[in-house]
Copies of this chain bind each other. A is one copy, B any other.
Amino acid sequence: MSIVIAALLLAGQPPRPDTLTVLIAYHSRGGHTAQLARAVEDGAKKAGAEVKTKNVSDVTCAELRDADALVVGSPVYWSNMAGEVKAFFDRWTNECQVLPPAFPMRDKVGAAFVTGGEVSSGKEIALMTMLAAMLGNRMIVVSEGQALGATATTGDGKQPLAEGELREGRALGERVAHVAKALKRGR
Contacts and interface: CB of A to CB of B under 8 A. Distances in A.
A183 to B, nearest CB: 5
Interface residues of A, number: 49
Interface string A116-129: 00111111110011
Interface in A29-63: none
B184 A132 contact: no
A14 interface: no
A28 to B, nearest CB: 15
Contacts of A181: 186
Number of copies: 4
B142 A138 contact: yes
Contact of A136 (B79, B86, B87, B175): B79
Across the A-B interface, give the 5 residue pairs with the lowest CB-CB distance, nearest first: A186-B186, A185-B186, A136-B147, A182-B186, A124-B124
Interface of A: 77-83, 86-87, 89-90, 93, 107, 118-125, 128-129, 131-133, 135-138, 140-144, 146-148, 151, 153, 175, 179, 181-187
15 contacts: A118-B146, A120-B124, A120-B151, A121-B147, A122-B136, A122-B148, A125-B132, A125-B147, A128-B132, A135-B141, A135-B148, A136-B143, A136-B148, A140-B140, A140-B141
